[in-house]
Structure 1
Amino acid sequence: MTGTGDPAPVSKSPPGAGPSTPALVERLRAAGCVYAEDEAELLVAAASTPDALADLVARRVAGQPLEHLLGWVDFGGVRVAVDPGVFVPRARSLLLVSAAIAVTGPAPAVVELCCGSGALSVLLAGRLAPRFHAAVDVDPAAVACARRNLTGRGVPVYAGDLFAPLPSEWRGRLDLVVANAPYVPTEAVALMPPEARLHEARVALDGGSDGLTVLRRVAAGAAEWLAPGGHLVVEAGESQVAALVAVLGESGMVPAVVRDDDLGGTAVTARRPG
């Protein structure tokens, strides 16, 4: 289960992607696809036959996320598998990766909560070389997808609610907890783009009445599971930052805010004193 907003456009064509026809581009553009040219090339490359292409295009025009049709998303230059129903990683969440790297020392103990496809852990495993590293999600479809993405990276994926499924001996020993938890207020979920609202798990989007229900629980747990000096890194909406900073301070941690205008992302980090 993960954060919020519009799926990031997949704009990089794989090697060998064939040219798209003007008619296909126009059909996608008429359906509201902003990156119609890129999408057309990707759909052509993904289809093995004209009938398969026609099916993919029809499903895309009907509103299914491009990433679910392709089965992958480019996230930070890495192709990450995304199964139907699983939250599609957004480009703005790359800020969580850079923020985590900035606050984390060598060979850290890392846990990703609300991991969805495991995209954050895919990047962090390669860039931080953790001494141990795990991911967690409550949604069975997300757990299965993350396990495929993290196979061979030494990152087990646990099924369960936040910290609950983690080995108890890790309590108080984690150097980094990163979470793209759901933060859309319940009433705002109905206003989200259909690609997200209709095709991603509700548990990956709905953050409760003010969008901070899950993040409050993440903050409370992190205060217990982080080692002294360890950091929590989460994503939030800009309008929620002040309230989230207050929550983190009340939990005994020292918060800081990181923004990236190019990505359109906001990350909040919090250090456990010690």
Structure 2
Amino acid sequence: MDLVARLRAAGCVFAEEEAELLRDADESQVARRVAGEPLEHVLGWAAFRGRRFVVAPGVFVPRHRSELLVDLAVARAFPGAVVVDLCCGTGALGAAVAGAVSSGDSKASPPASSDSSATPSIELHAVDADPAAVACARRNVPGAVYEGDLDAPLPPSLRGRVDVLLASPPYVPTAEIARMPPEAREHEPLGTLDGGPDGLALARRIAALAPGWLAPGGALLVECATHQGPDLAAAVRDYGLAATVHGDDDATTVEGRWPTH
């Protein structure tokens, strides 16, 4: 049986594309994919916004739906901005923001007092609680990577200085985990999927901590499921931020803005 047929028989929807990527793989790698392991874990990298990011077995694979979150962060960042990526996983989201800003894709204007010519990219800080994810992030992120619970390991010197705080936390309700594709629930850590009873347990914690870190006019951006947008926006408002729900065909991001004064 040729590789495409093996992959198709294993239930791979994009068998032809995967076969091309696995063309030079050895039999053990092909067997891992046929057995249901995520393609990204087999290859050792994940494609996100046109770049490849290191990803290891057991680490959450960045999803293309997070591109909305990144686009919003890029639009609000500027050269020299302080950006924090919580629940960073591989670090792909924060790294993509840094790459876009450094290449001039950012649409945001720096504060009048800043010297953008002296700071060609953002000051990026990324955090994850999982040691395996942190190891990947340290290979992907052009900035500081910390291991710990949400904002706990961040330097206190960042308080009141963060221009963009972005996060793609787990937001699948606990009761729905069993209905997820086996590729996710069997090969990615439960902690990267399970968002608690309504899926917003970590997102609410992030909304609560954000005001202590944001600079005047700073933005909090948190990814969630479409139906969770109104509830997360309400939580963001509860902590003093002006909330906006952004969405496209694939994803939803709730934005919270800290007043400029």
d(CA) in 2 for partners of 1:186, 1:265: 19
**1:134 paired residue among 125, 128, 140:** 125
TM-score normalised per structure 2: 0.90
Highest relative contact order (Cα 8 Å, sep 6+), 1 or 2? 1
Give SS of 2:149's match. coil
The aligned residue for residue 66 of structure 2 is 93
1:57 positional shift: 1.9
Superposed CA deviations along residues 145-184 of structure 1, whole A, max 9, x for unmatched, are 100112xx2x010000111100111111110101011101
Q: Residue 190 in 1 paired to residue 178 in 2?
A: yes
Deviates more, 1:128-137 or 1:77-86: 128-137
Classify 1:104/1:122 alpha carbon distance in 2 versus 1 (closer, same or farther; 3 Å): closer
| TM-score, length-scaled by structure 1 | 0.85
Aligned to 1:109: 82
- The partner residue of 1:252 within 233, 240, 251 is 240
**Does structure 2 conserve the Cα–Cα contact (< 8 Å) formed by 1:73 and 1:82?**
yes
Which residue pairs with 1:271 in the alignment? 257
Unmatched 5+ residue regions in structure 1?
1-21
Aligned sequence identity (%): 56
Matched, 1:207 2:207: no
Task: Report the Cα distance in structure 2 between the residues aligned to 1:133 and 1:81, rounded to whole angstroms.
Answer: 18
Q: Separation in 2 of the partners of 1:103 and 1:75?
A: 20
1:24 is aligned to 2:19: no
Write the distance in 2 (CA, Å) between the matches of 1:259 and 1:267.
6
Contact 1:254 1:271 in 2 (8 A): yes
Aligned length: 242
For 2:220 and 2:128, locate their aligned partners in 1 and report how far apart those are by CA, in whole Å. Answer: 17
Aligned-residue offset at 1:212: 0.4
Is 1:42 the counterpart of 2:45? The answer is no
Structure 2 spans left out of the alignment, 5+ residues = 103-120
Q: Which runs of 4+ in 1 moved over 3 A?
A: none
